[in-house]
Chains A and B, each alone.
Chain A
Amino acid sequence: AQSVAQPEDQVNVAEGNPLTVKCTYSVSGNPYLFWYVQYPNRGLQFLLKYITGDNLVKGSYGFEAEFNKSQTSFHLKKPSALVSDSALYFCAVRALRDTNAGKSTFGDGTTLTVKP
């Protein structure tokens, strides 16, 4: 069975500081990995994905994530946080061989709060 762990329920950073939202995963075979962001009472918005290729993936709004196979991690990062980045962030995984997008497993989410 596949799983995703987001070990931090809450991450607080000051505006302008770098941010990291952690994600580790477990899946059989090679993974598809995703990050989504959710604002209050809204659906999820796709940020970035890793399938193959460079371990550092760049996505929307200045976010990036680094795939680390040995540590089975896919941490989300941004060099300089904005107050508007405050939201709920979800990491998701599914097996690369699985073409069914509905088979992605989501983490429990991490609430990011960026303070001015």
Chain B
Amino acid sequence: GAVVSQHPSRVICKSGTSVKIECRSLDFQATTMFWYRQFPKQSLMLMATSNEGSKATYEQGVEKDKFLINHASLTLSTLTVTSAHPEDSSFYICSAPQGGAEAFFGQGTRLTVV
């Protein structure tokens, strides 16, 4: 089946620094990818839709300048958490639809800001 790879799986960074998370579709092209945030024991919250070759679409309440999204190719979307703070610590997950109705998810990235 379709595979979506997310990297890194874990990252610890200092407060004030920026962190980049990559999401790759390994065996298919994805013109659209989705970025989610998941708090402990909670559901997924859609942050933004990444569109290849154009600007990302952000959900209400998500800071565009804080969470920079770039979708430069048909197989890669990146999420950069800028000037990270401890409250940005979370589990971030990407997904990409491929053909059928369901989306395929990356492995997730555990971000810890200290």
Q: In the complex, A108→B108 CA distance in Å? A: 17
A41, A45, A102, A108 interface centre (most CB from chain B within 10 Å) = A102
Q: Is A34 located at the chain interface by the 8 A CB criterion?
A: yes
| CB-defined contacts of A109 to chain B, threshold 8 Å | 41-43
Q: Is B49 located at the chain interface by the 8 A CB criterion?
A: yes
Q: In the complex, A41→B112 CA distance in Å? A: 13
Q: In the complex, A107→B44 CA distance in Å? A: 8
Interface residue ranges of B40-70 to A (CB < 8 Å): 41-44, 46, 49
Q: Is B107 located at the chain interface by the 8 A CB criterion?
A: yes
Q: In the complex, how many residues of chain A place their beta carbon closer than 8 angstroms to a beta carbon of chain B?
A: 21
The distance from the CB of B57 to the nearest CB of chain A, in whole angstroms, is 9
The answer to whether A101 touches B108 (Cβ under 8 A) is no
The answer to whether A43 touches B102 (Cβ under 8 A) is no
Q: A90-B43, A90-B44, A106-B44 are in contact. Are A43 and B101 (CB under 8 A)?
A: no
Q: Is A73 located at the chain interface by the 8 A CB criterion?
A: no
Q: A34-B102, A46-B102, A49-B101 are in contact. Are A41 and B43 (CB under 8 A)?
A: no
Q: In the complex, how many residues of chain B place their beta carbon closer than 8 angstroms to a beta carbon of chain A?
A: 28
Q: In the complex, A64→B68 CA distance in Å? A: 39
Q: Is B95 located at the chain interface by the 8 A CB criterion?
A: yes
Q: Is A67 located at the chain interface by the 8 A CB criterion?
A: no
Interface residue ranges of B65-114 to A (CB < 8 Å): 91, 93-95, 97, 100-108, 110
The answer to whether A108 touches B42 (Cβ under 8 A) is yes
Q: Is A104 located at the chain interface by the 8 A CB criterion?
A: yes
Q: Is B25 located at the chain interface by the 8 A CB criterion?
A: no
Q: Which of B43, B49, B100, B101 contacts A102 (CB 8 A)?
A: B49
Q: In the complex, A86→B93 CA distance in Å? A: 21
Q: A41-B91, A44-B93, A102-B49 are in contact. Are A107 and B105 (CB under 8 A)?
A: no
Binding site for A on B (CB under 8 A): 1, 4, 6, 9-10, 32, 34, 41-44, 46, 49, 91, 93-95, 97, 100-108, 110
